[in-house]
């Protein structure tokens, strides 16, 4: 019966070199040979199996990925806050300039205002279509409503639903749902 091997400092150092070499046994063997001892690839494979290097490396990779994601999210949040601050400054400066000058010579100020609003919107994570919709004229809104209604009717004719039928909850019902509970025709 063979005794269970205990990982010692030499094994742990070999693991660290192997991990730093992107799990390449040949490169690890070369690096170890340069630093402290002759260590064959076969020995490294044996140690890897005996001490669970692959599992340990996978866990370390996963932890590194989680940490990298956390850092990326924090950096993105900091960037958005910074952009919002800059946008606020641009908007304030544009508004200040506009309050002191006539509009006919204010193209730089208007551009600064537009840029500030755009950056502010993007920093808040709002999609541009919300602002397009909010700034649309009544005629544009009616055209968009009619376009969407026509699309809905075309889809309804393809699947057999009734886009004009409204349920008690205010939501459109499909043809299958309208007739599902109706037994009066039987």
Q: What is the pLDDT of residues 93-111, one digit of tens each?
A: 877 877 887 656 567 777 7
What is the Cα 21 distance to its own chain's centre? 30
13 and 26 share one domain: yes
DSSP state, residue 105: G
Alpha-carbon distance values, 7 to 4, 25, 171 (Å): 10, 18, 65
19 and 68 share one domain: no
Residues 6+ apart with CB under 8 A from 25: 18, 41, 44, 45, 48
Residues 6+ apart with CB under 8 A from 2: none
Structural domains of the chain, count: 3
Q: Is 132 inside a domain boundary? A: yes
134 and 112 share one domain: no
30 and 75 share one domain: no
113 and 136 share one domain: no
pLDDT for 178 equals 40
Q: How many CB atoms lie within 10 A of CB 116?
A: 21
3-state class of 135 per DSSP? coil
Q: Is 58 inside a domain boundary? A: no
46 and 84 share one domain: no
Is the pLDDT higher at 156 or at 69?
69
116 and 138 share one domain: no
37 and 73 share one domain: no
- Does residue 135 surpass a pLDDT of 60? yes
Q: Is 180 inside a domain boundary? A: no
Phi, psi of 26 (to 5 degrees): -65, -45
pLDDT grade for 175, boundaries at 50, 70 and 90: very low
Task: Give the structural domain span for 24.
Answer: 9-51
39 and 87 share one domain: no
Highest averaged pLDDT of the listed ranges 37-46, 48-57, 91-100, 141-150: 48-57
13 and 43 share one domain: yes
The verdict on pTM exceeding 0.75 is no
pLDDT for 131 equals 64
122 and 134 share one domain: no
pLDDT for 179 equals 40
Domain end (from 100, 126, 152): 126
3-state class of 137 per DSSP? coil
Q: Is 20 inside a domain boundary? A: yes
């Amino acid at each position: 019966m063979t005794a269970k091997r205990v990982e010692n400092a030499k094994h742990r150092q070999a693991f660290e070199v192997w991990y730093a070499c992107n799990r390449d046994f040949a490169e690890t063997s070369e690096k170890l040979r340069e630093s402290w001892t002759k260590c064959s690839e076969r020995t490294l494979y044996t140690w890897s199996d005996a001490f669970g290097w692959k599992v340990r490396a996978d866990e370390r990779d996963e932890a590194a990925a989680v940490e990298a994601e956390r850092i990326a999210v924090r950096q993105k949040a900091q960037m958005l806050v910074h952009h919002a601050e800059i946008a606020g400054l641009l908007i304030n400066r544009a508004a200040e300039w506009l309050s002191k000058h006539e509009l006919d010579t204010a193209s730089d100020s208007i551009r600064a205002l537009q840029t500030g609003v755009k950056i502010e919107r993007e920093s808040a994570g709002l999609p541009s279509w919300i602002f397009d919709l909010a700034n649309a004229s009544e005629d544009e809104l009616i055209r968009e409503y009619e376009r969407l209604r026509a699309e809905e009717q075309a889809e309804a004719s393809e699947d057999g639903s009734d886009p004009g039928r409204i349920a008690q909850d205010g939501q459109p019902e499909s043809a299958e749902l309208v007739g599902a509970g109706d037994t009066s025709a039987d």
